[in-house]
Structure 1
Amino acid sequence: ITTELDRLSAGVPAPDATLVRDLRARGLVVTPLTRNGALLDVDCSHAQPPVGGTDLANLAPIAANICWLDLGGSAIADGDLTALAAMPHLNRLHLERTAVSDAAGPRLAACARLEYLNLVGTRIGDAGIAALAGLPAIDAIYLWQSQASEAGIAALRTALPEAVIDSGPMLEPSTAPPPKRKRRKQQ
């Protein structure tokens, strides 16, 4: 059975084995996604100390091989995301619990193959998510605990009606009076 990723990997050179070994030694989990090993899942979320911009720059020699990238909980910031432009096969991106903000929006919008984007617990707001409205392949965007407003999320849902835009539970403020506390008897 030939998968979509196998078809996508045709013509992509295999990643440098020495570089992959060095990345693993740094604490990154690098897993082949295709039979020929050309497309990779690079999970940086467990590396200690957390992955930062220099580490992301070190991925440049295998940028064409990266299909799934997990930067969740890393020290990545908006400016570091310029490295994504060199990843033509990037399909899934985890940025949850990072310092990315609205400035990341245009950099993310340039990822034409992006299908999955996790922005949970980031500082991205309405301006940043508005830039995501043009993502041609997006299937799911996760925005829990971000700075995006209900109105901004609604606008994104309108712009991307086929995509799942998950903002987590929206709790309505309670109008009930606070419960009465029972006084303790003094002994």
Structure 2
Amino acid sequence: MAFLALIELLGRMHPLLVHLPIGFLIFGIFLIFYSKKENNLLPAVRLAVILGLLAAIASAISGWLLYQSEGFAFETVRGHLIAGVITSILSGWLLWVSHRRTAVDRSIKWISAALGIALLITGHLGGNLTHGDDYLVEVLPEPVQSWLGYEPEAPKPIALDPDQWQEALVYEDLVMPILQQNCVSCHSPKNKKGGLMLTSIEAIQQGGENGPVLTKENPLESPLVARMLLPLDHEDHMPPKEKRQPEKAHIELLKAWIAAGADFSKTLGAAGIEKNLLIPFFKKESIPDFPITDLPPIPVDSLKVFAEKGILVEPISLDNSLLKVSCINFADFTDADWEMLEGIGSHIAWLDLSGTAVSDSLMVHVAGLPNLTVLKLSNTALRGILLEKLNANTNLKRLYLNQTEVDWNTLEVLKTHPSLMGLFAYNTPASKSETPDWAKKWGIKLETGGYQLPVVETEKVVY
């Protein structure tokens, strides 16, 4: 065991050792082209080339040990290996020729030029192994990358439709993106560490040098998951601790997939994956589009008066004259204070009155806001008796009534709203009672809570 550890240690010294021959040989090449008849530097050239050749041999040995211990595919290291051998041969040839000359001549310069090119190619291919073959070009603009023949391929995003999640494919829409994000940097045709590739169904089913990585219906016996659950500093933990680690939700999904038989073609519904495991993968709610208007922007100086009252008023974007208004720092804001906002009412697109002292009577004023798109009334004394007034807000798309006293009878008046897309009513009488049939069939995003996240294995670990 100690001997194997020593071999692996020597292999991992390869990235350190390769800089020695590069430095010595570049120094020797510089001396060759700097050398003149009147200042013959050939003895110094010989010394530099000897040291470079010895360091190149040591680097080649450590590189071979690294290749054996880290499980790189030969196709991955072949170019770097061949270029390294050529570099060593040219170094030896330059040393032999320099010992047969009394001064730097044309033949020495030609050999040193070829050696310089070989060094450049060897170093470039070695850098590709460490950082990826797009390391130098990934910082360039995409049109330049395309011109150079590089088409960056981002991992497939995970974004399930909350309403049609059962139709998504478990492997293609979830498992494959998780592996792309966390595993394929080490287990691809380029690296193939441990003889394992996770880039195709066939490769996953085949496994690696240590056998299969999936034990169907037994995730804890499947190396693909079992290694992720090991302590981070365990030598068998995967991915390595210096690499990106999968999220808890990723691991739980992989476990559920394997427990359901690790089928590569089933949908989430057919595989029986529970919805509560999928909540982290649902599409995040985006801010709805705001109306397009020709309203003139309100001067910034005119908005400062609101800040003095504790009201945040700011443009919703740099290219839109509509405003975002928030009174969350003005808890004493009441219906009587609405007159402060009347002058900018036509510009208000986002209104947050959460946690204030407003009442149902305010709905009469809110109904007169022609461009209101988002309305937040959470944690107020609202009972919803005047919610029908909001039907006049033909641009309203999101309504937040969390922690209010609204019930299904008061919410029913909104079922014919012309533009409402989402209604949020957590911790309300409505959320604590059975959802009526009309609400279940309502064509909007209706959220009343009641979700429970599962306890994952990693939360049970005591450190």
Q: TM-score, normalized by length of structure 1?
A: 0.78
Aligned to 2:450: 169
Residue 157, structure 1, aligned to residue 445, structure 2: no
Q: Distance in 2 between matches of 1:157 and 1:13?
A: 42
Aligned to 1:35: 318
Aligned residues: 163
Q: Distance in 1 between matches of 2:300 and 2:342?
A: 14
Q: With a CA cutoff of 8 Å and minimum separation of 6, indicate the structure with the bigger relative contact order.
A: 1
Q: Map of 1:10-159 to 2, 5 A cutoff?
A: 11-15=294-298, 17=300, 19-47=302-330, 49-148=331-430, 149-152=433-436, 154-158=437-441
> Please, what is the CA RMSD of the aligned residues?
2.2
% identical aligned pairs: 23
Q: Distance in 2 between matches of 1:100 and 1:107?
A: 14
Change (3 A) 1:102 1:65: same
Bigger proportion of residues as strand: 1
Q: Deviations over 1:69-99 (max 9, x none)?
A: 0000010100122111221000000000111
Q: Distance in 2 between matches of 1:115 and 1:54?
A: 26
One-letter amino acid of the counterpart of residue 111, structure 1: N
Structure 1 residue 46, shift from structure 2 partner = 1.6
Gap regions ≥5 residues in structure 2: 1-287, 453-463
Change (3 A) 1:54 1:117: same
Change (3 A) 1:134 1:97: same
Structure 1 residue 151, shift from structure 2 partner = 3.0
Structure 1 residue 170, shift from structure 2 partner = 6.9
Q: Deviations over 1:157-187 (max 9, x none)?
A: 31x32x210001079xxxxxxxxxxxxxxxx
Q: Distance in 2 between matches of 1:168 and 1:32?
A: 31
Structure 1 residue 13, shift from structure 2 partner = 2.7
- Computing the radius of gyration from Cα coordinates, the structure with the larger value is 2
Gap regions ≥5 residues in structure 1: 172-187
Is this contact kept in 2: 1:51–1:75, CA < 8 A? Answer: yes
Is this contact kept in 1: 2:379–2:401, CA < 8 A? Answer: yes
Q: Deviations over 1:123-161 (max 9, x none)?
A: 111221001111222221111111223234x42231x32
Q: Deviations over 1:22-50 (max 9, x none)?
A: 11111111120143552001011121x42
